Amino acid sequence: MSDDVNPYQQAHAREKAARLKAEMLLEDKSRKLYLQKQKLEESYARLRQQESAMLQNEKLATLGTLSAGIAHEINNPLAFVLSNMESLNNYTLSFQKLLRLNQVLLQTDQVPEDTRNSLAKLIDEEDLSFVSEDISELLKDTGDGLCRVRDIINNLRSFSRTQNTDQVETDLLAGLKSTLKLLDSELKGNVDLQLSLHELPKTICNPNELNQVFLNLVINAKQATENAKDATVIISSRCKNDTIFIRIQDNGCGMSDDVKKQIFVPFFTTKPVGKGTGMGMAVAYGIIADHQGKIVVQSKEGVGTIFEIQLPVVTETLT
Amino acid sequence: MKGVIFNVLEEMVEEHCGMAVWNEILNEDLSGDGIYTAGESYPDEQLFSLVEAVCARTKLPMEKVVGDFVEFLFAQLAARHPVFLENPTDLKSFLKSIDSVIHVEVRKLYDNPNLPEFEYDEPDPDILVMHYRSPRKLCVLAEGLIRGAAAHYKTSVEISHPICMHKGADRCDLHVRFLP
């Protein structure tokens, strides 16, 4: 080693080089750590999302079981109440005929005066003329009420999927088009309907039920845009990787996260009292779940909502 | 300011003036103990004070020292992180990748890197306008680094700085004209 070289300077240079190398190693580790952290964060977010979807599905499955039980329990007494109502209607007609005959006979001399007086007194005391008039109205209202109960029970059964379904090979696009035709007068002049419909492969499903889902979703989309400027509903269909996607998008009022979490819950509605049963989306959910499909919802308050139905293409029945 | 910048200043002073001068500057100064670790953050003022001390020692004007330092800084950083210069094959692409590539990588290494923001305009194919925004107002550093990058890519440029945060603007505009 030459005497001119300062050993401290040499050592300093060596130390600096070592430090630089250590810093580089640290940077490499930091970079890897950062990427791993990012992956972990993404996985965690995905896990939370899946957990929330799973909870939602479990909740709806529990509600389905509960709904099926309630529907079954109410359906049995409802069946005989409805049947009794029919008999009661017939009995009432007989009673009314008898009353009318009495009233006619009271005007004649064919019945002894004492009997006439007793009958007239009874009719008057029991207010039978009014009863006869009122009973028809009461029976009609009761019948209407029972029909509503029956509809609600049917909806609950649709949500819980306890019914047998008629599955046939179907062109869903044709079904969607016929539903839109049905809604033509409802939509015309109220919304700008934009269609981007691509051919779909035939699939085995229950067309009536799926048409009901389309109907519910399109009506909801139209109603959501009632106060929107340039109300628009965009409907599209496509098929990718053996999955059918039908998307119904509106630029309406949108939904808050809280509302979004509950839309498939039976009887949940944001519509004013008497305007909605709160069963439309629950039934839609049940139907799509029964077809092994999914309904994906994206919504932002004040911006609009997208419902996407995802259905597997089924070419053979599972039975 | 990250310690790596102090390390590069030390490197430059040692290379041009010798180790003794750097030791004297540290002994005369300063608020810190003179130990700078690349990944650690230190007050900007400490760097300014060191640069002033270098000017006093070398009797060179501040602009000259800062200009030389920043160009030297670019070369040193380029040597430490050659990967950032591999993909952009020319100066303009490199300058445009600062926000989207280099700053992203810097964020992987440091928790609070206090990075400036850049936006770009290209009013003409030969001109790149870089809009610089930073509460630290280190536009002089940005300008020097552009010069360093131009030297690295062996590209002649003319840089003007018509709008400056030090003159009350909310951003600095650095006009880089690429000369044939």
Residues B40 and B111 both lie in one domain:
no
In a shared domain, residues B94 and B74: no
Q: What percent of chain A has pLDDT over 70?
A: 94
Query: What are the counts of helices (DSSP H) followed by strands (DSSP E) for chain B?
Result: 8, 4
Is A273 a residue whose pLDDT tops 70? Answer: no
How many Å apart are CA A209 and CA A166, to the nearest integer?
A: 9
CB nearest B39 (choices: A9, A20, A26): A26
3-class DSSP state of B8: helix
What is the pairing mode between strands A243-250 and A232-240? Answer: antiparallel
What residues have CB less than 8 Å from A237, skipping those under 6 apart? A172, A173, A176, A196, A197, A198, A200, A244, A245, A246, A247
On average, the pLDDT of chain B sits at 88
Nearest to B109 among A9, A12, A30 (CB): A30
Whether residues A159 and A23 share a domain: the answer is: yes
Tokens 């700008």 belong to A192
Structural tokens at position A65: 């079981």
Is pLDDT above 90 for A307? yes
Within a domain: A204: yes
Looking at A161-231, list the stretches that DSSP marks H as alpha helix, in order from N- to C-terminal side.
172-182, 184-187, 207-224
Q: Determine the Cα–Cα distance for residues A89 and A82; give it in Å rounded to an integer.
A: 11
Residues A288 and A234 in one domain: yes
Same domain, B95 and B117: yes
Write down which residue in A163, A186, A203 finishes a domain.
Answer: A163
Q: What confidence category does residue B31 fall into, taking pLDDT thresholds of 50, 70 and 90?
A: low
Dist CA A167 CA A163 (whole Å): 12
- How confident is the model over B96-127, as pLDDT tens digits? 988 888 888 888 888 777 888 999 999 999 99
What's the pLDDT band for A278 if we cut at 50, 70, 90? confident
pLDDT (mean) for A254-282:
82
pLDDT score at A319 = 47
- Domain's final residue, options B52, B78, B104: B78
Do A136 and A179 reside in the same domain of the chain?
A: no
Q: What is the pLDDT of residue A258?
A: 87
pLDDT given for residue A165 in this prediction: 59
SS3 B18: coil
Kindly state the average pLDDT of the residues A150-171: 75
Of A86, A64, A289, the C-alpha closest to A155 is A64
Least confident of A3-7, A101-105, A245-249: A3-7
Mean pLDDT of A2-29: 83
Q: How many domains does chain A have?
A: 2
One-character DSSP codes across B73-106: HHHHHHHH-THHHHS--SHHHHHHHIIIIIHHHH
User: In chain A, which residues have their Cβ closer than 8 Å to the Cβ of B38?
Assistant: 23
In this structure, the answer to whether residues A158 and A175 fall within a common structural domain is no
Say what percent of chain B tops pLDDT 90: 31
| Amino acid making up residue B136 | R
User: Is the domain of A141 the same as that of A27?
Assistant: yes
Same domain, B97 and B63: no
Residue B109 and residue A31: Cβ atoms within 8 Å?
Answer: yes
Distance CA A39, CA A277 (A): 44
The ipTM (two decimal places) reads 0.71
How far apart, in whole angstroms, are the C-alpha atoms of residue A305 and residue A235? 12
Q: What percent of chain A has pLDDT over 90?
A: 44
Interface membership of B108 toward A (CB under 8 Å):
yes
The tally of domains found in chain B comes to 2
Asked whether residue A319 is assigned to any structural domain, the reply reads no
Domain co-membership, B25 together with B8: yes
Do B119 and B58 share a structural domain?
no
> pLDDT averaged over chain A?
87
Q: Are A9 and A158 found together in one domain?
A: yes
Tell me if B172 sits within 8 A of B142, measured CB to CB: yes
At which of B78, B103, B125 does a domain end? B78
Looking at the structure, do residues A256 and A293 belong to the same domain, yes or no? yes
Query: Highest mean pLDDT range out of A25-29, A304-308, B137-141?
Result: A304-308
What is the C-alpha R_g of chain A? Answer: 35
Q: Are A23 and B38 a contacting pair at CB < 8 A? A: yes
Per the CB < 8 Å rule, is A23 touching B19?
Answer: no
Most confident of A24-33, A205-214, A303-312, B71-80: A303-312
Query: pLDDT tier at A125 (50, 70, 90 boundaries)?
Result: very high
The answer on A195 and A81 residing in a single domain is: no
The answer to whether the beta carbons of residues A212 and A287 sit under 8 Å apart is yes
Last residue of some domain: A163, A178, A203? A163
Strand A192-197 versus strand A232-240 pairing type: parallel
Measured CA to CA, the distance from residue A312 to residue A319 in angstroms comes to 16
The pairing of strands B117-124 and A294-300 is unpaired
Q: Residue for token digits 């002049």?
A: A189
Which residues of chain A make contact with B80, given a CB cutoff of 8 A?
Answer: 20, 24
Where residue A162 falls among pLDDT bands split at 50, 70, 90?
very low
Compute φ and ψ for B131, nearest 5 degrees.
-90, 115
Q: Which of B46, B78, B110 is the last residue of a domain?
A: B78
| A23 reaches B (C-beta below 8 A) | yes
Give the tens place of pLDDT for each residue, A11-22: 888 888 898 888
The chain B residue lying nearest A24, using CA atoms, is B80
Query: Based on the domain organization, do A107 and A245 belong to the same domain?
Result: no
Query: Would an 8 Å CB–CB cutoff place A37 in contact with chain B?
Result: no
Same domain, B162 and B91: yes
Sign, Cα dihedral of A146, A150, A156, A162: positive
| CATH code (residue A209) | 3.30.565.10
A12 interfaces chain B, CB cutoff of 8 Å: yes
- Closest chain B residue to A30, measured at CA: B109
Same domain, B72 and B119: no
Residue B180 Cα, gap to closest chain A Cα (Å): 37
Which residue in B8, B22, B101, B109 has the most chain A C-beta atoms within 10 A of its own C-beta, making it the best mutation to test that interface? B109
Confidence (pLDDT) at A262: 86
Give the model's pLDDT for residue B28. 81
What's the pLDDT score for residue B83? 79
A34 CB neighbours in chain B (<8 A) are 107-109
Question: Which CA distances in Å does B11 have to A239, A276, B8, B37, B155?
Answer: 63, 77, 5, 13, 25
The pLDDT of residue A184 is 85
Kindly indicate the confidence band of residue A3, based on its pLDDT and cuts at 50, 70 and 90.
Answer: low
Looking at the structure, do residues B68 and B91 belong to the same domain, yes or no? Answer: no
- pLDDT, position A30: 87
Res A108 pLDDT > 70 = yes
Same domain flag for A113 and A177 = no
User: Residues A174-198: pLDDT tens digits?
Assistant: 989 988 888 888 888 889 999 999 9
Cα B94 to Cα B88: distance, rounded to the nearest angstrom: 5
Residue A37 belongs to what domain range?
1-163
Which of B6, B59, B65 lies closest to B30, judged by CA? B6
pLDDT of A318 higher than 70: no
Q: Are residues A89 and A44 in the same domain?
A: yes
- Looking at residue B113, its pLDDT comes to 76
Interchain contact, A35 vs B108, CB within 8 Å: yes
Q: Residues A152, A299: one domain?
A: no
pLDDT in tens, A35-71: 999 999 999 998 888 887 777 777 777 877 788 888 8
Domain hosting B146: range is 87-178
Cβ contact B105–A31 (<8 Å): yes
**Partner residue facing B108 (CB), from A9, A20, A31:** A31
Q: Hey, are the CB atoms on A31 and B39 less than 8 Å from each other?
A: no
- B18 inside 8 A of chain A by CB: no
What is the CATH classification number for the domain harbouring B57?
3.90.1520.10
Could you tell me if B101 and B19 lie in one domain? no
My answer on whether B31 and B67 are in the same domain is yes
B17 touching chain A per CB within 8 A: no
Report pLDDT digits (tens) over B53-85: 999 988 888 888 888 898 899 989 888 888 788
Q: What's the DSSP call for residue B166?
A: G
Please state, in angstroms and as integers, the Cα–Cα distance from residue A183 to each residue in A229, A237, A314, following that order.
Answer: 21, 18, 28
In this predicted structure, what is the pLDDT of residue A1?
Answer: 44
Q: Which residue of B has its CA nearest to A35?
A: B108
Among candidates B19, B107, B108 on the partner chain, residue whose Cβ is nearest the Cβ of A12:
B19
What is the tally of helices (H) and strands (E) in chain A? 8, 7
Q: Are residues B173 and B92 in the same domain?
A: yes
**Distance of residue A28 Cα from the nearest chain B Cα, in angstroms:** 9
* Per-position DSSP letters for A42-107, written without gaps between them: HHHHHHHHHHHHHHHHHHHHHHHHHHHHHHHHHHHHHHHHHHHHHHHHHHHHHHHHHHHHHHHHHT
Residue A132 is assigned to a structural domain of this protein: yes
Q: Do A9 and B19 touch (CB under 8 A)?
A: yes
Q: Give A4 to chain B, closest Cα distance, Å.
A: 16
A166 in contact with B, Cβ within 8 Å: no
Domain boundary (A143, A163, A183) is at A163
CB contact under 8 A, B108 and A9: no
How far is Cα A225 from Cα A171, in angstroms, rounded to an integer?
29
Alpha-carbon distance A27 to nearest alpha carbon in chain B (angstroms) = 6
List own/partner pairs for A138-145 with CB under 8 A and 24 or more apart.
A139/A85, A139/A88, A139/A89, A139/A92, A142/A85, A143/A85, A143/A89
